[in-house]
Amino acid sequence: MTQAVPSPREIATELEKSVIGQRVALQEMSIALSKKLAGLAVGNILMIGSSGTGKTTLMRAVESYLEARPHLSLRSTVVRMHANILGEAAQKGRPGEVVLQRLLERAREQLGIDASAESLLKQASNGIVFVDEVDKIRSYIGDRPNTSGIRAQEALLTVIENEAVPLTLPPWAGGKTVTVDSSGLLFVCGGAFEGLYDSVFDRVTIGRDRGALKPVTVVEDGQVHERLEFVLREWLRNEDLFDYGMSPQFLSRFDAVVLLADLTIDELVRIFLEIPNSGYDQARAYFESRGLHLALSPDAIRRIALEASKEKRLGARALKEVFRRVVRDYEFDPKANGPEGSVLLDVAEVDAALAT
């Protein structure tokens, strides 16, 4: 039985259950997945976004989406790996092999151990490869060359859009060396590229393109101010990524470079409330186990999101950390402070907890 390939919008609707905001990245990913599932050619994607803004969450969401739909996942085997693994593998031999071997293993899980090497290879060579933390394979750190990064980028180049990748099959697949056409693979790489924001800001304010970013005049509280409004998306050029340590050959393999936005307070509130197994869910389950009902007022949640948003380097991860500070005392010594065995936290309680 053949089933219709879901449209990008249908895919996005599902992914949105675990990824809040990040509209552009969701769109790009949903379009790519829809095309891939239809057997069409798709350009590779590079995702850049601050830490804790949802890059890994989005990759995982796609994995779960496919896992939950076997009829779709058979159309495209997916693997997710940390970029550093490629550098390590490169030291041991043919670097691109590690990617293909992962895909092959995954294909075997899907098709069963009796599947022929040929069918496994066919399945694997049509897969989706998520390479996470791709910024860790920059070719230099400061002024020093980063050998494993250089090797890892080269390793990826050998498998991205290559029609003839040599691959020694694992023993369970016969152990022969074969040639694999990997041009059907879709690569989605993601990384935080820490420091990129600052270096591009410097370029357009005090560096090479000094003065390019013009101050805007704003009126605030009746006073006129001049302010620099910098949005990375508007200024990022390929050269900035070259300078960061991604080679031009490597970058040229990506059709789309997607910048994830920093999360807004509203989005942090939604992440706090809507993402399953959050710190909030866990705390509620704990109080429930002690016969108490935990409730936070909307203002209290906003206050937590606001506090979390101040920790720019953590993104949504800060929510957990801030929330821990808020509930610690209450979890340590659970007792009702509201009606019918409820623990009520309003802004005053949150403020008090955060002040200690």
Ligand X SMILES: Nc1ncnc2c1ncn2[C@@H]1O[C@H](COP(=O)(O)OP(=O)(O)OP(=O)(O)O)[C@@H](O)[C@H]1O
The pairing of beta strand 177-180 with beta strand 165-168: antiparallel
In the complex, the smallest distance separating the C-beta of residue 55 from Mg ion, rounded to whole angstroms, is 5
> Residues 297, 317, 325, 334: which binds ligand X (CB under 6 A)?
317
Number of residues that bind ligand X (CB under 6 A): 18
By CB under 6 A, what part of segment 22-41 binds ligand X?
A: 22
> Residues 57, 110, 183, 297: which binds ligand X (CB under 6 A)?
57
96 binds ligand X (CB under 6 A): no
Token pair of 27 as six digits: 């769109």
In three-state secondary structure terms, 257 is strand
51 binds ligand X (CB under 6 A): yes
- How many Å apart are CA 183 and CA 175, to the nearest integer? 23
Those residues with Cβ within 8 angstroms of residue 3's Cβ, 6 or more apart along the chain or in another chain: 71, 72
Stretch that binds Mg ion, among 3-11, 54-62, 159-167, 173-181 (CB under 5 A): 54-62
- How many Å apart are CA 339 and CA 254, to the nearest integer? 57
Among Mg ion, ligand X, none, what does residue 51 contact (CB within 5–8 Å per kind)?
Answer: ligand X
Taking every pair of Cα atoms in the chain, the longest distance, rounded to a whole number of angstroms, is 77
> Residues 24, 35, 56, 346: which binds Mg ion (CB under 5 A)?
56
Stretch that binds Mg ion, among 27-35, 55-63, 280-288, 297-305 (CB under 5 A): 55-63
Stretch that binds Mg ion, among 50-58, 100-108, 286-294, 321-329 (CB under 5 A): 50-58
Angle between helices 298-309 and 317-332 (to 10 degrees): 130
Among Mg ion, ligand X, none, what does residue 57 contact (CB within 5–8 Å per kind)?
Answer: ligand X
The DSSP-derived string for 283-338 is HHHHHHHTT-EEEE-HHHHHHHHHHHHT-TTTTTHHHHHHHHHHHHHHHHS----S
Stretch that binds ligand X, among 19-27, 81-89, 235-243, 291-299 (CB under 6 A): 19-27
- Whose structure tokens read 């891939």? 36
**Nearer of residues 21 and 184 to ligand X, judged by Cβ:** 21
Contact 81, 132 (CB under 8 A): yes
**Nearer of residues 56 and 84 to ligand X, judged by Cβ:** 56
20 binds ligand X (CB under 6 A): yes
Angle between helices 265-274 and 317-332 (to 10 degrees): 50
Among Mg ion, ligand X, none, what does residue 52 contact (CB within 5–8 Å per kind)?
Answer: ligand X
Bridge partners for 156 per DSSP: none
Among ligand X, Mg ion, none, what does residue 22 contact (CB within 5–8 Å per kind)?
Answer: ligand X
The binding site for ligand X (CB under 6 A) comprises 19-22, 49, 51-57, 192, 271, 275, 315-317
